[in-house]
Amino acid sequence: MTIQGIDVSHYQGDIDWQKVAAPSVVKFAYAKASEGIDNTDPSFSTNFAGMLDAGLLRGAYHFFHPEYAAADQAAHFLNVLGTPRAGDLPPMLDLETDGGLEGPAIVARALQWLDQVQMAVKCTPIVYCSPNFWTNVLGSPSDLTEFRFWIADYKAGDAPVLPPGVADYTFWQYTANGALDGIAVPVLLDRFNGSLDALRAMGAS
């Protein structure tokens, strides 16, 4: 069983969240909150509130720049996020750029971010990564497998192809060219690997 969701940023423009949620197909959504140490997505506050008003399970993510201090990035994300509401989904860390660093250094800094955010929000964050980045840049890091895995894999099929060392996935971003009422441009589509009850249970308490 999988549950349909989306993830968005300011690139999707103005979103009519009531239309997105109306067909009852999309059950959850993630919005980009922050990037690096000082970049805030200009649509985050509007998107995050709109998701809640539309009755969607909602989460937030941070685009990681390994060249900057992990502690500063975590603090920036938490400041943008604010105090999570009960039921908000765990934060996600987006790993897709190396910042000129080697794999072990990226992993070490990512772990700092994940640990700092986990302590603050009291739930286990999620790691987003493509199979190529996971394997060829990060070096299939076993240290990151203790966190839930969000795989970006756009190949056709009923399930993603997991990279070496990853036993399972929690979320699957399966296309960047989704079309939904309420969003005028292509949107990233995702699936949660489990039931709606399991998805709800991941939320902050």
Q: In the structure, what pLDDT confidence band is assigned to residue 15 with cuts at 50, 70 and 90?
A: very high
In the numeric block, the tokens 């399991």 are attached to 198
* Catalytic residue (one of 14, 38, 72, 96): 96
Q: In the structure, what pLDDT confidence band is assigned to residue 158 with cuts at 50, 70 and 90?
A: confident
7 catalytic, yes or no?
yes
pLDDT digits (tens, 9 = 90+) for 131-151: 999 999 999 999 999 999 999
| Count of other CB atoms within 10 angstroms of residue 175 | 15
Domains of the chain: residue spans and CATH: 2-201 (3.20.20.80)
CB 18 within 8 A of CB 189: no
- Give residue 191's Cα distance to chain centre: 12
| pLDDT score of 68 | 98
| pLDDT score of 130 | 97
pTM score, whole prediction: 0.96
Alpha carbon dihedral 190, 195, 197, 203, in 10-degree steps, equals: -30
The encoded tokens of residue 146 equal 């203790």
> Which has the closest alpha carbon to 90: 26, 149, 20?
149
